[in-house]
């Protein structure tokens, strides 16, 4: 079954419009605020020259191309969010067009390539990327990785490697400068060479020459990135992952795998944040972990089965695994336990596998049955995507839905509390922080935020046990210790205040040596009635 290319592209536009089109009404939400609205490198042209040598808006991430594109959109639209969202939709369409061309290049027929791409476009797990502006980083790196694979496979099949090499290297470099997942490009191209082009009778040197050059570019950019940012890693690790050993991270990974599988196959429940206790951290092993192990075993069985029978399907499975590796927390802890946005690039791999299997099933199933199943599932996915997009429309809607949808993720309550505190809804902020503690009482930042709110409201008596509990979780949190010390002084609990300062000194926090002396002076003055503690 052949379709005119223009008809297929119109179908892509309609699918995006129905599934994701409501995002044009969204504003700047969540990470958009810090990454764009409050980022001088985006909003102030005088700061644009600092973009190449500066980190993304947090940690030591390096995404200069993404930040530059934010700046261009801000200037063109005078900061209007609709232009950012329109750009995301056009970027999403570009990913679909290039993916469709790649699927055809890999041997999928028009029906399989179009069906797989349409299902990719309407998949609800992509809403976070398309409906939230900072998701553009995912879009640009996905576009680069798919385009690089298309250019590479076409060049190898046509024998035009030398002519295509400059374009390939530029595309890979742009992907790396969009998001860290771009560094997997050499692995994806190597996988394509192994699985899709392995039957070519060529010396090994000829087969891997281009991949080695791509690898050299990736290594060079990695060195440049590390030199500019003075760091070889990315984000500050999530609190839940900081104390885990490699074995603990591996066990946590097994607990994440079933969630990945569910979101790919049955993505009807979505949430903005994932983590403990909904996703268990470390051991012991539970049924969830064994299920994760079974999913991995199933992936391996399918990969081995398809490697020779359906190498394109095997390549899709390999693509998904390679794309997930940087966010698996196996090699190094990242800033998240899990997030829906990290599945954007991996689902391209599943689209490749689906297109290959649809071509195969044409010989054993009637086209009408396959078409009916795809249409029915596509409608379900489209409706879910369209109903999810408004979650990202406003700050209030987002943070309200965050705790409703992710009721078992403590961090969602922690983040929502910060928003409600900034919105001057102190009771709601306090309630959310208390709930976060009830869910997972191992994050000292939650205790510090709750204690500080109580302290600011003049309730040091209530704040002291909160600060104390936070220090038990992490005695090295100097800011938390300082706040506890101030409340102990207000409460005239001199022995505890001196002990708190002494503990800080013992931990090597030299600033508490001066605090020790200050506590003694205030205590002595208070005993003679010559002064009152701060706050009284």
Residue 120 lies in a domain: yes
487 class by beta-carbon count within 10 Å (0-12 exposed, 13-18 middle, 19+ buried): buried
Q: Which residue has the higher pLDDT, 38 or 4?
A: 38
Stated pTM of the model: 0.94
- The pLDDT of residue 363 is 52
Q: Where does the pLDDT of residue 527 fall: very low under 50, low under 70, confident under 90, or very high at 90 and above? A: confident
For residue 336, give both structure tokens: 């998240």
Residues 134 and 241 in one domain: yes
* DSSP label at residue 508: T
Under the banding of pLDDT at 50, 70 and 90, the label for residue 234 is low
pLDDT average, residue stretch 39-64: 92
> What percent of the chain shows pLDDT beyond 70?
96
Instruction: Report the pLDDT averaged over residues 228-242.
Output: 84
Q: Domain end: 392, 418, 434, which one?
A: 392
The mean of the pLDDT values for the chain is 93
φ, ψ for residue 277, nearest 5 deg: -85, -5
Where helices occur in 106-203 by DSSP H, the ranges are 110-122, 127-131, 136-158, 161-176, 185-196
Q: 3-state SS of the chain: helix, strand, coil percent to 5?
A: 75, 0, 25
Is 180's pLDDT higher than 80?
yes
* Residue 403 in domain: no
| Closest of 391, 385, 394, 395 to residue 415, by C-alpha | 395
Q: Is residue 207 part of a domain?
A: yes
Q: What is the pLDDT of residue 4?
A: 83
From residue 175, give the alpha-carbon distance in Å to each of 141, 299, 340: 5, 27, 20
Has residue 534 been placed in a domain?
no
Question: Looking at the structure, do residues 428 and 369 belong to the same domain, yes or no?
Answer: no
Residue 304 is part of which domain span? Answer: 5-392
Question: Is residue 193 domain-shared with residue 78, that is, in the same domain?
Answer: yes
> What's the length of the chain?
536
Co-location of 271 and 331 in the same domain: yes
Q: How many CA within 13 A on the CB side of residue 476?
A: 2
Examine the domain organization and report whether 373 and 487 are in the same domain. Answer: no
pLDDT at residue 233, as a whole number: 73
Lowest-confidence pick of 155-169, 192-206, 294-308, 361-375? 361-375
Question: pLDDT of 54-64, one tens digit each?
Answer: 999 877 799 99
* Residues 456 and 368 both lie in one domain: no
Spatial distance between the Cα atoms of 197 and 190, rounded to a whole number of angstroms? 10
If asked whether residues 372 and 430 sit together in one domain, one would say: no
Neighbours of 456 (CB within 10 A): 12
- 11 domain residue, yes or no: yes
pLDDT tens readout for residues 336-391: 999 999 999 999 999 999 999 987 654 555 667 878 888 999 999 999 999 999 99
- What's the confidence (pLDDT) of residue 236? 81
**Are 323 and 184 within 8 A, CB to CB?**
yes
If asked whether residues 345 and 439 sit together in one domain, one would say no
pLDDT (0 to 100) of residue 367: 67
Angle between helices 204-229 and 136-158 (to 10 degrees): 160
Distance CA 172, CA 507 (A): 46
Per-residue confidence band for 5, with pLDDT thresholds at 50, 70 and 90:
confident
| Judgement on whether residues 384 and 429 belong to the same structural domain of the protein | no
Q: Is residue 402 part of a domain?
A: no
251, pLDDT greater than 50: yes
Q: What contacts 24+ positions apart, CB below 8 Å, involve 482-487?
A: 482/515, 483/448, 483/451, 483/452, 483/455, 484/451, 485/512, 485/515, 485/519, 486/455, 486/460, 486/534, 486/535, 487/451, 487/455, 487/460, 487/463
201 pLDDT higher than 80:
no
pLDDT in tens, 253-302: 999 999 999 999 999 999 999 999 999 999 899 999 999 999 999 999 99
Task: Tell me the β-bridge partners of 274.
Answer: 338
Residue 368 is predicted with a pLDDT of: 75
Give the pLDDT of residue 163.
Answer: 95
* 500 and 381 within one domain: no
> Is residue 535 assigned to a domain?
no
**Is the predicted pLDDT of residue 534 greater than 70, yes or no?**
no
Overall number of domains in the chain = 2
Residues 160-197: b if buried by 16+ CB within 10 A, e if exposed: ebeebbeebbebbbbbbbbbbbbbbbbbbbbbbbbbbe
Joined tokens for residue 222 = 């990695």
**What backbone torsions phi and psi does residue 272 show, to the nearest 5 degrees?**
-85, -15
What confidence score (pLDDT) does residue 307 get?
95
Domain assignment present for residue 176? The answer is: yes
Q: Mean pLDDT, to the nearest integer, of 122-139?
A: 98
Q: How far apart, in whole angstroms, are the C-alpha atoms of residue 132 and residue 116?
A: 24
Same domain, 451 and 501: yes
115 and 260 housed in the same domain: yes
> The domain spanning residue 474 has which CATH number?
1.25.40.10
Nearest to 377 by CA among 354, 393, 352: 354
Return the residue matching tokens 């600092």: 50
Cis peptide bond prior to 277, omega within 30° of 0: yes
Q: What is the pLDDT of residue 536?
A: 46
- Residue 456, pLDDT score: 94
């Amino acid at each position: 079954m052949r379709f005119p290319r223009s008809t297929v592209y119109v179908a892509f536009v309609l699918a995006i419009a129905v599934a994701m089109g409501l995002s044009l009404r969204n504003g700047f939400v969540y990470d958009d605020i810090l990454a764009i609205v409050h980022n001088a490198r985006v909003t102030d042209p005088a700061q644009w020259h600092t973009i190449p040598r500066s980190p993304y808006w947090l940690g030591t991430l390096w995404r200069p191309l993404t930040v530059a594109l934010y700046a261009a959109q801000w200037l063109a639209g005078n900061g209007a969010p609709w232009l950012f969202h329109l750009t995301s939709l056009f970027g999403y369409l570009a990913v679909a067009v290039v993916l469709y061309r790649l699927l055809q290049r890999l041997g999928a027929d028009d029906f399989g390539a179009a069906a797989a791409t349409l299902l990719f476009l309407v998949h609800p797990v992509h809403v976070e990327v398309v409906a939230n502006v900072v998701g553009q980083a995912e879009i640009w790196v996905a576009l680069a990785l798919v385009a690089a694979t298309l250019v590479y496979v076409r060049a190898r099949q046509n024998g035009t490697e030398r002519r295509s090499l400059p374009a390939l290297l530029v595309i890979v470099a742009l992907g790396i400068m969009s998001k860290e997942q771009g560094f997997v490009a050499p692995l994806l191209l190597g996988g394509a060479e192994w699985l899709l082009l392995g039957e070519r009778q060529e010396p090994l040197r000829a087969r891997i020459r281009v991949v080695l050059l791509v690898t050299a570019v990736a290594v060079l950019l990695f060195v440049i990135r590390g030199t500019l940012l003075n760091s070889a890693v990315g984000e500050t690790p999530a609190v839940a992952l900081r104390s885990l050993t490699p074995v603990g991270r591996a066990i946590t990974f097994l607990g994440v795998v079933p969630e990945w599988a569910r979101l790919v196959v049955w993505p009807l429940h979505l949430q903005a944040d994932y983590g403990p206790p909904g996703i268990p951290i470390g051991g012991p092993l539970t049924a969830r972990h064994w299920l994760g192990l079974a999913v991995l075993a199933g992936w391996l069985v399918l990969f081995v089965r398809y490697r020779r029978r359906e190498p394109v399907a095997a390549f899709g499975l390999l693509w998904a695994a390679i794309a997930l590796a940087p966010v698996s927390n196996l090699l190094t802890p990242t800033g998240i336990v899990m997030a829906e946005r990290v599945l954007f690039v991996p689902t391209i791999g599943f689209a490749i596998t689906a297109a290959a299997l649809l071509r195969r099933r044409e010989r054993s199933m009637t086209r009408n049955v396959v078409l009916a199943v795809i249409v029915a599932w596509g409608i379900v996915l489209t409706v879910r995507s369209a109903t999810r997009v408004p979650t990202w429309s406003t700050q209030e809607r987002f943070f309200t839905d965050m705790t409703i949808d992710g009721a078992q993720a403590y961090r969602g309550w922690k983040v929502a509390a910060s928003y409600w505190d900034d919105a001057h809804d102190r009771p709601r902020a306090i309630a959310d922080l208390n709930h976060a503690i009830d869910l997972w009482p191992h994050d000292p930042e939650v205790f510090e935020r709750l204690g500080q709110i109580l302290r600011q409201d003049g309730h040091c008596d209530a704040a002291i046990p909160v600060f104390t509990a936070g220090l038990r979780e992490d005695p090295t949190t100097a800011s938390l210790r300082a706040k506890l010390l101030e409340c102990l002084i207000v409460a005239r609990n001199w022995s505890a205040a001196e002990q708190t300062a002494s503990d800080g000194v013992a931990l090597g926090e030299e600033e508490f040596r001066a605090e020790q002396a200050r506590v003694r002076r205030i205590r002595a003055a208070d005993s003679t009635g010559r002064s009152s503690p701060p706050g009284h």
